[in-house]
Structure 1
């Protein structure tokens, strides 16, 4: 399907669901380097909400059209954006991404600036092009962060590096971001979507119920200290196995037996 935002900004958020269970979401305002208006943010939020409820969708890839991923908020409409209700979950892009049960792969090329940086942080896996840059300009323009950049980045790349990136508005290159564990893969610009699809295809092949549960326990556990996170895993594992039927255990054993048989035939 193809979905777009409401008039007058039609076709600025595109959604295409592929037959293999992968949905491609594209920020489609290339002439403005995919800068976001308030209505685009709401449309992007609703796109993730719909895809989360669509049982045919198993993985979501988020990208931008043209030469940039997202250059942040359209500052010509800054008052309209920032005077809005930042606590409105329904129209909050990052909130809906965080509520989304499906894995989200960010396919980043060019610039991911401020709001674009925060949207990148809300993805579960990131593929970036060589030379791509993540830039936090909150301090430069006097904009207070509200999509998590001030808290998430330090937890991923360390507080010292995060302070440097945010307080100086210094670009974080894809290559450095990969070394710091923020970006998963850095590839040639023309290979970004291809690599994202390879990762999505690998996820689609796995048990969908477990993929959803695994993403949730990783993300929920990351917010806790290790002791409580380990307790969370134990609790979720107990609930999962306690709810499994004998038929499910039998299928698990058959799968393992079949895999071992394939290994033996290759020897």
Structure 2
């Protein structure tokens, strides 16, 4: 599915099951209007429900990933129907069943930073910068930045980043565990695709369940997260048929027979 060039949210689905969402407003550094946020939310919901889609790669066109909310339409964004989960971009990313790989090139600022944090895996180009300007412009965070960032990079670093609006470079982001990979800009989508292809090789039902248990467990303390994992594991195995167990055993046996004999 290809959208027309003037569309601000582009969607493309390839035959291998990789879907691409591109924020396509490069002249405004991919800043978001309310309609764009709604379209992004609908895109994630649609791809989550599409059984042909296995992995989603999110990127921005031009010099930025996303420079945040278009402040010329700030009142419409912040005082509009923002409690509607169906049209909330980050809410839809968080319930999306498919893994989301963020390919960040250039600026990921404030709301753009929050969208990056809602991805499951982040790949960044060397010139990428993550910036939180909520405090600079008097905007209260509502897409998770105040809570997620401190859990990833630590509260002291997060306080400096947010209270002083200090940019995080790609190199720092990788060192602090915020991004998975840093590559040349020309290699960004290829690297994201490589990660997507590795995910596609696995059991897709388990991939979706695994994403959900990691993300849902992250919202709890360790003790309750372990209870959640155990509960879902029992539900999963209770639902498996004898034929499914046999297929699992056959698969493992087939993999074992292909391994070269170990040398002592």
TM norm. shorter chain > 0.5:
yes
Match of 1:170 in 2: 166
Q: CA deviation at 1:266?
A: 9.2
Go from structure 1 to structure 2 and tell me whether the alpha carbon gap of 1:54 and 1:266 turns closer, same or farther (over 3 Å shift).
farther
- For residue 264 of structure 1, give the secondary structure of its aligned residue in structure 2: coil
CA contact (8 A) 1:45 1:91 kept: yes
Match of 2:2 in 1: 2
Q: CA deviation at 1:81?
A: 1.2
- Equivalents in 1 of 2:135, 2:42: separation in Å? 29
Instruction: Give the 5 Å matches for 1:192-203.
Output: 192-203=188-199
Match of 2:105 in 1: 109
CA contact (8 A) 1:86 1:146 kept: no
Q: CA deviation at 1:2?
A: 2.2
Instruction: Give the 5 Å matches for 1:1-267.
Output: 1-3=1-3, 10-264=6-260
Deviating 4+ runs (over 3 angstroms): none
- Equivalents in 2 of 1:266, 1:208: separation in Å? 31
- Equivalents in 1 of 2:165, 2:62: separation in Å? 24
- Equivalents in 2 of 1:120, 1:61: separation in Å? 11
Q: CA deviation at 1:52?
A: 0.5
- Equivalents in 2 of 1:233, 1:81: separation in Å? 37
Q: CA deviation at 1:87?
A: 1.1
Residue deviations 1:142-169 (CA, integer Å, cap 9, x gap): 1111111011111111111000000000
Q: CA deviation at 1:3?
A: 4.3
Please list every run of 5 or more consecutive structure 2 residues that lacks an aligned counterpart in the other structure: none
Q: CA deviation at 1:78?
A: 1.3
Residue deviations 1:183-205 (CA, integer Å, cap 9, x gap): 00000011110000000000011
Higher mean C-alpha deviation, range 51-60 or range 69-78: 69-78
Go from structure 1 to structure 2 and tell me whether the alpha carbon gap of 1:266 and 1:190 turns closer, same or farther (over 3 Å shift).
farther
Q: CA deviation at 1:131?
A: 2.1
Q: CA deviation at 1:85?
A: 2.4
CA contact (8 A) 1:126 1:184 kept: yes
- For residue 193 of structure 1, give the secondary structure of its aligned residue in structure 2: helix
